[in-house]
Amino acid sequence: MRRKEIKLALVYRDMWQSSGKYVPRVDQLTKVAPEILKMGVFDRVETNGGGFEQVNLLFGENPNTAVREWTQAFNDAGVQTQMLERGINGLRMSPIGKDLRKLMFKLKKIQGTDIARSFDGLNNPQNLALSFQYAKEGGMVAQGALSLTHSPLHTVDYYIDLADKFIDLGAEEICLKDMAGVARPHSVGLITKGIRERHPDIIIQYHGHTTPGFAVASSLEAAYHGADIIDVGMEPLSWGTGHADLLTIHAMLKDAGFKVKDINMKAYMKVRSLTQEFIDDFLGYYIADSNRKMNSLLIGSGLPGGMMGSLMADLESNLASLNKWLEKNGKEPMTSDDLFVHLLDEVEYAWPKLGYPPLVTPYSQYVKNVSLMNAINMIKGKGRWSMIDENTWDMLLGRQGQLLGSLGEEIVDLANDQGREFYTGNPQDLYSDSLEEYRVKMKEKGWETGKDDEELFEYAMHPVQYEAYKSGAAKKKFEEDLEQRKSKHNTSNVVLAKNEENQNLPVQNNHPTALDVTIEGTTYHVQIDYPNGNNTNADKNGHEKAEMPKPSQNGKAISIKAPLEGKFFLTKESGEKGIKIGDKVSVGDTVGYIEAMKVINAISADKAGVVSEIVARNGEDIEEDEIIITLN
């Protein structure tokens, strides 16, 4: 029996995001677009959305230009373009106001994007109602995405009913978003069947990551039970934490009797070659080898492929810090695999306690971050839950929607002990409009709001990244980082001759590098810099930094240290007042914030006293165990 036609969508944006940190430059995107079209097999291409525009800013490129030019070829050829948006969070990790959400859909349609795939990380229909409304008002197709996961609460019936709610609110299509690839194939088939029986004419699209290995079977089950479109990746960025390969899905569907468009293999090889060219250019320096592998260990934790690039980077930086601590305390260092297994075990333990949020952006990052902090603190002999960041607290307290599961008693007790209040209202009401505020800021800075207010949109959506882009700091930082990565890569491939190694050994000296100085009864530990360049007082990038006096443990002054590395801020919001010299600090008081792993961590005092000095500098990097403030 001849089955119906299955259409294929290339997730070219997500292919990159699931592999590493960056996406191709606009010149590279426009170079590959015509070749993708020549393949002749795709009815849709995912061109932009969550993560895409922010990373453009990070390497100094205007994302509005990128979206307009990248989508043009597909628009001209009549191939639909699709984007991913995060509901109440828009294109970022934290909530935004209604005005910015509404502008986003209008603008993205003007820039060339046809379909808005909207998902809420907690699967709250309430948070997506405006997405569906604004998408249709802006001329886009409103697609509602069910964030699939596997838990006692996330049943087949739950997802079928959820699709009903999305459609009632205005969703014109449904996507089964299997972001971690942990949805079991049989269940994917039953969910698809249930939606199809209730909504015979709705378009159903399946999107699955291949990390634990279910996605190929899930794609077939979805097709058998009524799916219309299957998302695919292609070499050299298929499989691993990415998506099932076009060639595999195409051959499988054809063998099962489905009608699928033919592939122009000459064009396929060209796209494959160009993608590899982009990797060789610079993108490969940000792709971890482990992200190119499938890993069934993730079946238990359910962590999604889309965040594995950032996860491995987080593991790398935290492992270096942890091993410093282990070495200082006479313990054996750990490998990245050791820490990874600790993390997976802790996610399985912590996830139910955190209310079973679907492990999709941003909540996958929240669960991962808390679990990683728990794992590290337990390795250090400390207890769980001592580092819950402010973004995660917003989730736990209901400020981004209601969790499907109940919180663990220890989390509720901790919230009550810290005087935190639970919220049961509409999360959107907590986040006010911001466009006019940013319009004023741009006028003050002499910046143009751009065609169709697109520059205003970028500034309001990604204020920190946009300012870094406008100043040139983002591009400079990216270029410096890329050079360091290239240098490290090249160095690792060069074996120095033994005599050359000996000639390049640093000259040792016996000059003191630090002294304890007592002033009026208070002992300070002071770093010493030498004019001949033998300077031990440098930051992690090798740049000299002026060190403030640090109190010795045997003096009267005491210190509060950073529990993790990141960027230090005195306040979380611009209108807040930070601590100052002379302030009285009690145990548990917040003394500052550290931004790390895409979230804000409040730093609580573990000692009491009066602030005698603020050592950490606002907005600058701080390493674990560096002093934040001193107290008398």
Tens digits of residue pLDDT in 297-316: 778 777 765 565 566 667 77
30 in Cβ contact with 69 (< 8 Å): yes
C-alpha 558/C-alpha 610 separation (Å) is 10
pTM for this model (two decimals): 0.80
Tell me if 460 is assigned to some domain. no
Tell me if 486 is assigned to some domain. no
Residues 134 and 90 in one domain: yes
Give the 3-state secondary structure of residue 629.
Answer: strand
| Each residue's pLDDT tens digit, 540-560 | 444 444 444 444 444 556 888
CATH of the domain at 587: 2.40.50.100
Per-residue pLDDT band for 594 (boundaries 50, 70, 90) equals confident
Judge if the upstream peptide bond of residue 152 is cis by omega within 30 degrees of 0. no
| Each residue's pLDDT tens digit, 106-135 | 999 999 999 999 999 899 999 999 999 999
Residues 397 and 347 in one domain: yes
Domain boundary among 389, 409, 430: 430
Residues 625 and 600 in one domain: yes
613 in Cβ contact with 548 (< 8 Å): yes
Sequence-distant (≥ 6) Cβ neighbours of residue 612 within 8 angstroms: 557, 581, 629, 630, 631, 632
| Each residue's pLDDT tens digit, 333-377 | 988 888 888 888 898 999 999 999 988 878 888 898 899 889 988
Residues 368 and 224 in one domain: no
pLDDT at residue 533 tops 60: no
The kind and range of the H/E element at 29 are: helix 26-38
Instruction: Tell me which residue range forms the domain holding 420.
Output: 298-430
Edge-to-edge order in the sheet of strand 599-604: 599-604, 590-596, 566-569, 621-622
Residues 178 and 70 in one domain: yes
357 in Cβ contact with 363 (< 8 Å): yes
C-alpha 6/C-alpha 392 separation (Å) is 40
C-alpha 275/C-alpha 246 separation (Å) is 15
The dihedral over CA atoms of 153, 356, 91, 96, expressed in degrees to the nearest 10, equals 100
Tell me if 83 is assigned to some domain. yes
37 in Cβ contact with 77 (< 8 Å): yes
Residues 31 and 120 in one domain: yes
Q: What is the mean pLDDT of residues 554-580?
A: 76
Distances (CA, A) of 403 to 87, 134, 416: 16, 25, 18
Choose between 300 and 480: higher pLDDT: 480
- Beta-carbon count within 10 A of 424 CB: 7
What's the sign of the alpha-carbon dihedral 149, 153, 155, 160?
A: negative
Instruction: Please give the structure tokens belonging to residue 10.
Output: 């290339």
Distances (CA, A) of 401 to 121, 282, 535: 9, 39, 51
Exposed e or buried b for every residue in 543-572, given b needs 16+ CB within 10 A? eebebebbbbeebebbbbbbbbbbebbbee
C-alpha 93/C-alpha 557 separation (Å) is 39
Tell me if 502 is assigned to some domain. no
Residues 32 and 60 in one domain: yes
Residues 165 and 271 in one domain: yes
| Each residue's pLDDT tens digit, 185-221 | 999 999 999 999 999 999 999 999 998 999 999 999 9
Give the 3-state secondary structure of residue 592.
Answer: strand
How high is the pLDDT of residue 556?
59
Tell me if 483 is assigned to some domain. no
Domain boundary among 405, 430, 455: 430
Tell me if 38 is assigned to some domain. yes
Q: What is the 3-state secondary structure (H, E, C) of 139-175?
A: CCEEEEEEECCCCCCCCHHHHHHHHHHHHHCCCCEEE
Share of the chain above pLDDT 90, in %: 59
How high is the pLDDT of residue 138?
98
Rg, the chain, Cα only: 26
CATH of the domain at 107: 3.20.20.70
Residues 123 and 54 in one domain: yes
Residues 420 and 552 in one domain: no
Domain boundary among 292, 318, 341: 292
Tell me if 539 is assigned to some domain. yes
Give the chain's domain count: 3
Instruction: Please give the structure tokens belonging to residue 598.
Output: 């895409």
Residues 353 and 247 in one domain: no
Residues 99 and 227 in one domain: yes
Tell me if 472 is assigned to some domain. no
